[in-house]
Amino acid sequence: MKQIQDVYIVAAKRTPVAKKGGAFRHVRPDDMLAHVLRGVVDAVPEFDLNDIGDVVVGCAMPEAEQGMNVARIGLLLAGFPVSVPGVTINRFCASGLNAVADAAMKIMTGQCDIAIGAGTESMTVMPTMMGNKVTVNPRAFESPENVAIAYGMGLTAEKVAHRYAVSREDQDAFALASHQKALAAIAAGRFADEIRPYMVRSHLPDLTSNTVRIVERVFDTDEGPRADSTAEGLAKLRPVFAARGSVTAGNSSQMSDGAAAVLLMSEAALQRTGARPIARFRSFAVAGVPPEIMGIGPVEAIPRALKQAGVVQADLDWIELNEAFAAQALAVIRTLDLDPAKVNPLGGAIALGHPLGATGAIRTATVIAAMQRGEARTGMVTMCIGTGMGAAGVFEKV
């Protein structure tokens, strides 16, 4: 049996995140994926792409345009050799992080020396939040424990807000801070190194000449953050999931499109390719919680990931806690007593968007970029997961 070996991250790239129906409205999810896959291999010294043992891609709704094993399709569209395999995985909102972890595990166990973990999601192409075709098993409604499988995510956030006493005022204040931090980060260029700009092409009819005009523009900045977001404006929004609730469109994550990829190598691969490591993959853990309060999932996953990594919570310099909803993010922060100053320093999904299965890989790219800038030594990416789970991954600067 081969010895467990260390896994190093040598590159992490993402697209800018677009709003649903925004800049990527005519861009396919497999094209977004191909773009970031090409980006991570182009970011390191040239090496033989045939040495890539596997490409693992997370997608929360692997249907329609992002079905048919989007991982394999994306890597072929990126010009990878046909010898490179690809697999699509789904753990809902943790799919991208899970893909990074699965790629790392392949290297740790000696199955290969080089692998890529990635994620892609176009919420624009999906007609509903529950996928291309909603097919909930009728048996889910036969028991109080399982009926939450059919809940919309917003209703689970309402239950978390009630159970953990998270007020509407606190949710709105958290949401406003997310926008303010994201806008400040964009103005300071702090996302520039992790984003691979995308050339968006639009085909516009010219009625005077009966021709189609192709217009190109470089898309390089996340669309979600709102400079016009105010406490007063957020307070005026009505609850959207429960008549007397507190969860609104303003304190929930944005539906989005985006992709990201992370290139991982063993020490032997580093020596062979000359690539320089940025960070070391330390651990990944998942845990289950009641589906009706799925947002609290990180509370169970984070301690497991920290224990596996051999670090304590105080060791964390940077925490990317996915803001599915302000209610659940605040409940997690308060329950685990996380340092708010370390949580989402550049804003979170309420401002930056949440392209579901891509988010874990996107936020991994953010942590890795922070390590490159010398702003963190130990970082974590964590999120809640639909149907009642949580996930967390720990990374350490080399």
CB atoms within 10 A of CB 255: 20
CB 54 within 8 A of CB 115: yes
Tell me the three state secondary structure of residue 393. strand
Tell me the three state secondary structure of residue 122. strand
Residues 267, 269, 271, 273: is their CA dihedral positive or negative? Answer: negative
Is 112 a residue of the active site? no
CB 350 within 8 A of CB 175: yes
Catalytic residue among 35, 112, 179, 384: 384
End-to-end Cα separation, the chain, in angstroms:
27
Catalytic residue among 35, 59, 93, 112: 93
Interatomic CA distance for residues 106 and 90, integer angstroms = 17
* DSSP state for residue 398 in the 8-state scheme: -
Of 221, 219, 233, 230, which is closest to residue 185 (Cα–Cα)? 221
Two tokens, residue 200: 């968006």
Catalytic residue among 59, 112, 179, 354: 354
Number of H helices, E strands in the chain: 11, 12
Tell me the three state secondary structure of residue 348. coil
Q: Return the active site residues.
A: 93, 354, 384
